[in-house]
Amino acid sequence: MPPGPTPAPGPALLSVSAPVLADGDQRWCERVTVTIRNSGGTAARSGTVTFATHVIGALGVDWATLTSTQPLTAPIAAGAARTETYTVCVDSWRVPLGMRIDTRAVTAAGR
Q: In what order do the strands lie in the sheet with 62-71?
A: 62-71, 47-56, 100-110
**What does R_g of the chain's alpha carbons equal in angstroms?**
18
25-53 pLDDT, tens digit per residue, is 999 999 999 999 999 999 999 999 999 99
14-110 is a CATH 3.40.1000 domain: no
Whole-model pTM? 0.90
